[in-house]
Structure 1
Amino acid sequence: MSVSDLDFALNLTTLEGWTSTMHDFEELLHFNPEGSFIGEVGGEPIGMVCTVNYGEFGFIGNLIVRGMYRGQNFGKTLMEEAMKHLLDSGTKSLLLDGVPEAVSLYEQLGFGRIAKSLRMESIIAGQSSEFVRQMVQEDIDKISVIDTGCFGGHREKFLQMRFLSFPEYCKILEIDEEIQGFIMGSRGTSSTRIGPWVMNNHSPISENLLLALAESGSGSPLKIGVLETNNEALNILRKHGFRETSYSWRMLYGENTEATLSDHLYAICCPARG
């Protein structure tokens, strides 16, 4: 995939009803320029798949084949290319969030289900807090250390790009000059998307980050992804009226390193990158 393919890629996700933006694909190409693939038939693009290499593990997302070409193994071929790309680079395991309709394909390729990755939505009134402040550039190195410890891989580039693109949605929870956690968000066409949200400690005021981000969202719908195994996060979200709108399956191929599964991850970054 190259920059010239991005309009095609975005159109595919739009047709699926996903909330991807052009910025999402620009970030993917920036993070791993060689990791996303376009399937073609007779020189015409018919599908895509994206990968992110985090070192010991990789994440696969955005597997879509145009409707008229489905059922002809093009999706399987794209997946095999994505898997080979990551495994040849030395990754020990592969992860993805698979929509229910595609789970059987992933299982044929050797993936197993771990947990549901829930998609939730709410509209809540925001609220400031004396313990929550705006993120600044000097925080990036510090939160990257926290993030790597919780997520299991290095994604500093994503954190940096998210901060530069949407600084108003990036917040720090700090008590006695110690960072307890952080939250980031991005603006979609009609909603504010939350993620990542990482807590270094399970603070009793973790929800203050959510409320501060909601305040910046000015009443727009908030959308978030979270694993069903994270009771701490789900308790906060349900308290504030978040309801499940859909789900995918977090799936694993290869060695289970527990990457992306920590209960300190209160929100996924996005379905295509964990």
Structure 2
Amino acid sequence: MNNPNDFTVRTMSTAEVELSVEWAASEGWNPGLHDAPCFRSADPDGFFIGEWQGEPIACISAVAYDEHFGFIGLYIVKPAFRGKGFGIRIWQHGMDYLQNRNVGLDGVLAQQANYRKSGFALAHRNIRFQGVAQGAEYSNLSNASDLPFEQLVDYDRQCFPAARARFLAAWIGQPDAVALAAVRAGRVAGYGVLRRCRTGCKIGPLFADSEGIASDLFDGLAARMPGEVIVLDVPETNPAAVALAERHGMTSVFETARMYTREPPTLALERVFGVTSFELG
């Protein structure tokens, strides 16, 4: 490799977060139309660009949700620069930023061995299901933005390893998206977000107290974009979530390995019917 000092890593600008999402689209990850500003809202300092002689060639996100939990994603090296050691250098920069937090990631199954070398251990698989949106409107669902925001944050925290109010506000309020919630006996019993992507749309998160509520939310969201290709990323640890996807005629197209550097966080995984995103957890 040439002079290693010609490779530098620094925090991304707002425009460079957009660039990293463009690279993700080139990799076939099919990001949402407004992922970049939503992702950045989670931790503006947790996105890094690697430059070789002034040219951006690598990126990574290392989102610190709080002092205890972080998540690695958007780990990309441009194809022409792979195999030259740039990837491990920007990776180490991201991991150093997260310091001693418990760090999660969703990695392709083939890379598990490499992630294990960095101290990650497998928690479970996430299965990507894909189908065609065919839903029904439900009168017992509310727009998530109409609920007291604190209630939504509290419910989300039961299904995610950290409170993420800034991200959640951006996520449910983004353009080209629908966010619905189920309220039962005066309390939030589930919510879901459907966002338009480069191709079709994705549901995530989909959190619910029961399979019935999750199914109502899925149908209510799908009804907003009928006939579109729809994606749902399901943790295999929740058999009811797998059954919901299959019952809606979806088929498995991809898998990731959810891995952590420490013990998996204690979560209500039986309520997780769809993860938010493979990039931010």
Could you tell me the TM-score, scaled by structure 2's length? 0.89
Contact 1:10–1:22, Cα closer than 8 Å, also in 2? no
Contact 1:169–1:184, Cα closer than 8 Å, also in 2? yes
Aligned match for 1:213, one of 217, 221, 243: 221
Residues 246/154 of structure 1: CA separation in 2 closer, same or farther (3 Å cut): same
Q: How does 1:1-274 map to 2 (within 5 A)?
A: 1-21=12-32, 23-55=34-66, 56-87=68-99, 90-91=100-101, 93-166=102-175, 169-199=178-208, 201-202=209-210, 204-258=212-266, 262-274=269-281
Partners of 1:185 and 1:100 lie apart in 2 by: 26
Letter of the 2:253 partner, please give it.
T
Contact 1:166–1:185, Cα closer than 8 Å, also in 2? no
Partners of 1:155 and 1:131 lie apart in 2 by: 26
Letter of the 2:56 partner, please give it.
P
Q: How well do the aligned residues superpose, as a CA RMSD in angstroms?
A: 1.9
Q: Which range is displaced more, 240-249 or 152-161? A: 152-161
Partners of 1:150 and 1:13 lie apart in 2 by: 26
Residues 110/216 of structure 1: CA separation in 2 closer, same or farther (3 Å cut): same
Partners of 2:227 and 2:148 lie apart in 1 by: 27
Q: CA deviation at 1:166?
A: 4.2
Contact 1:61–1:272, Cα closer than 8 Å, also in 2? yes
Partners of 2:109 and 2:90 lie apart in 1 by: 18
SS at match of 1:170: strand
Contact 2:177–2:196, Cα closer than 8 Å, also in 1? no
Residues 11/152 of structure 1: CA separation in 2 closer, same or farther (3 Å cut): closer
Q: CA deviation at 1:151?
A: 1.2
Unaligned segments of structure 2, at least 5 residues: 1-11
Partners of 2:274 and 2:24 lie apart in 1 by: 21
Residues 22/126 of structure 1: CA separation in 2 closer, same or farther (3 Å cut): closer
Identical amino acids, percent of aligned pairs: 25
Contact 2:180–2:191, Cα closer than 8 Å, also in 1? yes
Partners of 1:246 and 1:167 lie apart in 2 by: 25
Partners of 1:72 and 1:168 lie apart in 2 by: 39
Q: Which range is displaced more, 177-186 or 162-171? A: 162-171
Q: Deviations over 1:96-130 (max 9, x none)?
A: 00013432321221211221111111114211223
